[in-house]
Amino acid sequence: MLQIGIIGGAGYTAGELIRLVLNHPKASINFVYSTSNAGNKLSDVHQDLVGSIELKFTNTINTDIDVLFLCLGHGNSTAFLEKNKFSESTKIIDLSNDFRLTVDAVFEGKEFIYGLPELQKEKIKNATYVANPGCFATALQLAILPLAAKSVLNNDVHINAVTGATGAGTSLSKATHFTWRDNNFSYYKPFIHQHLGEINQTVNQLQESFNSDINFMPNRGNFSRGIFATVYTKFDGSLEEAKDIYNEFYKDSKFTFVSDNDVHLKQVVNTNKCLLHLHKHNDKLLITSTIDNLLKGASGQAIHNMNLMFGLEETLGLNLKATYF
């Protein structure tokens, strides 16, 4: 059994990670680190775990585990790894944005591989350190990378995407408080969202000639979880040609699927799937992309990466049922 350590165990992504590891046939939780909750039961914070696990949060770490998941706020993973040294055999998967960009990928001799399995599965298989993609970045890259891989992404890209309240984390603010979020809708960080850096990086990795704008409008929705994104750009080919491009790109994917029917959030919430749908209008190709921000956009993708890194079946522990009704 793989021995798992989780750092920053009180947040939403850590909670999902704990649930996934508990049901993974090849992994076992060794410790869950949280300085603010040390001594408390995991089920005191993640209350759906009552009866599932008696483990308590700890403020000490085991440096000789098989896999370390970092579920810390952005900027904190670097500081944590500077202070805590793990065995050279310990594989690390970071769920923050500290190591996603090439300029930040090498840290104290550790090279973090960008962990989007649909983009570079073979590199992940051979990696010791992985930078898990962002939630918006996952949904949006999966929407446009097939076009970049064919070098046909030659015009501006326009994106409107909405995320659930869990995307903002557990800390309360005006924009996450129930009375503000309920029956409400708003945008934030228009055109400058932090995930644009990794999106542009991977697009240019596949299509070096791409120099157009990616215009991204992120929105806050009045639901708990999920991302629903609509992406459009000019495309000279037919709808059938576009479908051929996408189906070929994802032919070996275990979790990303191109649907002939319109897609919606209930199909993917509580799963590690990304569902895509294509629609052609005049010279524009519309791509709809939908994921669960906490699973495919975070913890589920982290477990997928772990499976790849240890030579396990990709879907192990991730055969999840959508909360459809």
Q: Which residue ranges make up each domain of the chain? A: 2-133+296-309, 135-293
Q: What is the mean pLDDT of the segment spanning 189-202?
A: 91
8 Å CB contact between 157 and 231: yes
| Euclidean distance between CA atoms 194 and 209, whole angstroms | 22
Per-residue H/E/C for 227-270:
EEEEEEEECCCCHHHHHHHHHHHCCCCCCEEEECCCCCHHHCCC
* pTM flag (> 0.85): yes
Q: What is the mean pLDDT of the segment spanning 9-26?
A: 94
What pLDDT, in 10s, does the model give residues 40-93? 999 999 999 999 999 999 999 999 999 999 999 888 999 999 999 999 999 999
Catalytic residue selected from 135, 214, 263, 265:
135
Residue 170 has pLDDT above 60, yes or no: no
Can 135 be counted among the known catalytic residues? yes
Residue 9: pLDDT band with limits 50, 70, 90: confident
In CATH terms, the fold of domain 2-133+296-309 is Rossmann fold (3.40.50)
Q: What is the pLDDT of residue 175?
A: 58
Q: How far apart are the two ends of the chain, measured CA to CA in Å?
A: 35
DSSP for 88-129 reads TT-EEEE-SSTT-SGGGSEETTEEEEE--HHHHHHHHHT-SE
Range with the poorest average pLDDT among 156-165, 169-178, 231-240: 169-178
| Better-predicted residue by pLDDT, 11 or 28 | 28
Residue 284 has pLDDT above 90, yes or no: yes
What pLDDT, in 10s, does the model give residues 264-277? 999 999 999 999 99
Number of H helices, E strands in the chain: 9, 14
Q: What is the pLDDT of residue 322?
A: 94
| CATH superfamily entry for domain 135-293 | Dihydrodipicolinate Reductase; domain 2 (3.30.360.10)
